[in-house]
Structure 1
Amino acid sequence: MGTTIQKQPFEIEIHLPVRTYDIDFAGIVNNIVYIRWLEDLRLEMLSLHFPLGEQIKNGIMPVIVQTKIDYKHPIKISDLPIGKMWMQSMEALRWHVSAVISVNGKTAALGEQVGVFVNLQSKKPVRMPAELRHKYQLQH
């Protein structure tokens, strides 16, 4: 009997290229690069479930209010990191995403972000878009 792997809501996985300018004086990927990778992952995830055009049409944009990264294992220029991100939870105003960055199956970093959607005009938080909340509930 086969095993079914349950994916997390909105789960995506992408390759994260290491650039020469990502390397610090110690020869490893600089900590700030992980922030950019979390952005790449989050933008890819949102493009699949709530594209930028829809956000603008709705007069809203996502804003990050917290980022946390636990660095577990250094990444070098010759490594081929893979990033995975998913929607951990979605509340009325806030959403939480989790991420894992790994190299050859070994966890290099764990990340979390908390965000809100804000009105483009007022810059104030708004309730979670109904379409996005519905998609999340279908996958959760």
Structure 2
Amino acid sequence: MATVIQIPLQIRFGDIDSYGHVNNVVYLQYLEDARVQLFHTPLGTAAGPGAGAADSFEDLVGAELFTLVGRHEIEYLVPLVFRPEPVFVNIWVTRLGGSSFDFGYTVAERDGSVIYAQASSGIVVVSRATGRPVRLSATQRHALETWLGEDVHFRRRQTAAVSAAPLGAKA
């Protein structure tokens, strides 16, 4: 079973829009906050050969590489209003590629009784020197595999084929 990491986040009054709920773009900030916290959390049992329990995923990436977001998909399910209690971002890995991986998320109550949004992000490991993708190391892959779980099942995902023609081109 995958380890889902649960990150508490406090809703700020400034997160609320004129409709009285958390603005849609703020959810992307919540996802970013959860990713950054996860990347900087000691690996503990997710540490494999070449890493120590006190190392973080950010330590495994090192100074020569960095991670970029290549894609986001988010589905808003229930409006989230201001409250003094934190909301929780659950984060896990849904896919591992050669130089990339995907995170799945829910923004929810601690016990999962209400899910306000679900999302997915595609992350790419990139060389600072070349700006090109770099293959995941065995140590990085081991940590990510520890967090591997199911894909996000979007309720309203469009399944219709999208034309490959550029905008404005005649089909």
Q: From the superposition, tell whether residues 93 and 73 of structure 1 become closer, same or farther in structure 2 (CA, over 3 Å).
A: same
How many aligned residue pairs are there? 132
Distance 1:127 1:81 in 2: 34
* Displacement of 1:75: 0.4
| Match for residue 91 of structure 1 among 97, 107, 123 | 97
Deviation of 1:121 after TM superposition, in Å, equals 1.4
Contact 2:21 2:82 (C-alpha < 8 Å) held by counterparts: yes
Deviations 1:39-63 (A, max 9, x none): 1111122223444344233x10000
Query: Percentage identity across aligned positions?
Result: 23
Structure with the larger strand share: 1
The equivalent of 1:3 in structure 2 is none
Q: Which moved more, 1:124-133 or 1:43-52?
A: 43-52
Instruction: Provide the C-alpha distance between the structure 2 equivalents of 1:133 and 1:24, rounded to a whole number of angstroms.
Output: 39
Alignment partner of 1:64 is 2:69? yes
Q: Which runs of 5+ in 2 are unaligned?
A: 44-55, 149-171
- Which residue identity lines up with residue 107 of structure 2 in the other structure? I
Compute the displacement of 1:28 (Å): 0.5
Residue type at the aligned position of 1:97: F
Task: Give 2:117's aligned residue.
Answer: 109
Query: 2 CA distance for matches of 1:52 and 1:88?
Result: 19
Runs of 4+ in 1 over 2 A off after TM superposition: 48-57, 134-140
Deviation at 1:136, TM superposition (A): 3.3
What is the letter of the counterpart of residue 13 of structure 1?
Answer: Q
Displacement of 1:109 after TM fit? 0.2
Equivalents in 2 of 1:136, 1:51: separation in Å?
Answer: 9
> What RMSD over aligned residues (CA atoms) do the two structures have, in Å?
1.9
In structure 2, the residue corresponding to 1:133 is in which secondary structure?
helix
What is the alpha-carbon distance in structure 2 between the residues aligned to residue 139 and residue 53 of structure 1? 17
Higher helix share: 1
Q: Hey, what's the Cα distance between the residues in 1 that align with 2:101 and 2:66?
A: 13
Give the CA deviation at 1:82.
1.1
